[in-house]
Chain A
Amino acid sequence: EAGVAQSPRYKIIEKRQSVAFWCNPISGHATLYWYQQILGQGPKLLIQFQNNGVVDDSQLPKDRFSAERLKGVDSTLKIQPAKLEDSAVYLCASSLDPTSSYEQYFGPGTRLTVT
C-alpha cells in the first residue's frame, strides 16, 4: 500500500513570508497528525485530526499556524507569517484506529528553512 505522502520535500522562505505544506495519509486512516521536528529534538505534536475534526491542537501556535483537513482525507498546514524559529522538519503521520493500536505511519517530512 502507498505510504503517507507529503509535499513539498524542501522549502526555503524568508521570515514574514507564508508557506503551506500538504499531506495525503494512507487510504482509510481516520487519524492524521502534524509534528514539528526541530534539529536535534524529537517530534512535537502540533495538531491531531480524527476524520475532519480536531482532537488536539494544544501545542499549535495559533497566532501563526493553521491546519485543516477537509473531507477527512488530505490535510494542509500553513504558517503565516513565518519566523526564524519555525525552521524545522514538518512530519505528517496517520493511523488507522487511534484507540486500538496507536501505530502511526510517518511521511518523509517537509524540511523548512526560514532565512
Chain B
Amino acid sequence: AQSVTQPDIHITVSEGASLELRCNYSYGATPYLFWYVQSPGQGLQLLLKYFSGDTLVQGIKGFEAEFKRSQSSFNLRKPSVHWSDAAEYFCAVGDNTNAGKSTFGDGTTLTVKP
C-alpha cells in the first residue's frame, strides 16, 4: 500500500528566508507525486505535480520540488518565503493503477515570521 510521511509537523521561517518541506513516500512503482497548499478555511490547491521526466518540477507561486527516487523523496522548496505563504502543505502520492486515487501525508504547517 502506498503511504506518505511528512516528518515536520510545524516549520517556522523568517520572511525572505529559503524553505524546504520534506516528503517521503512509499510506493511500489513509479509514483505520481503532488504538493498541495491549504489556507485556513479553504480547500486544497495544487502547487505542482510530478508524473515523469525531469525530476525538478516547477509549480505556482515560485515553488519547486525535486523527485529523488533513490531517497523516495519529493521535497518542496522556495528560495524566498513571503508572509502569504503561511499555510498548511500536503504531499500526496497518486495510485497509477486506480485512476486518481491519492494518499496524503498529514501535512506541515508553515509559519512565517516578519
Contacts and interface: CB of A to CB of B under 8 A. Distances in A.
Partners in one complex: yes
Interface of A: 3-4, 31, 33, 40-45, 48, 50, 55-56, 91, 93, 95, 98-99, 101-109
A104 B32 CA distance: 13
Nearest to B32: A102
Interface in B76-114: 90, 92, 94, 98-107
A102 B106 contact: no
Given A108-B41, A108-B43, A42 B100 contact: no
- Main SS class of interface, B: strand
A4 to B, nearest CB: 7
Interface in B14-54: 32, 34, 36, 41-46, 49, 51
Contacts of B46: 103-105
A51 B107 CA distance: 30
Given A40-B106, A102-B49, A102-B94, A4 B101 contact: no
A46 B45 CA distance: 19
A31 B99 contact: yes
A103 B34 CA distance: 9
A40 B101 CA distance: 21
14 contacts: A4-B43, A31-B99, A41-B106, A42-B4, A42-B92, A42-B107, A43-B44, A44-B104, A48-B100, A55-B100, A101-B49, A102-B34, A104-B102, A108-B41
Given A42-B92, A45-B101, A55-B98, 6 more contacts: A4-B43, A55-B101, A99-B99, A102-B32, A105-B46, A106-B43
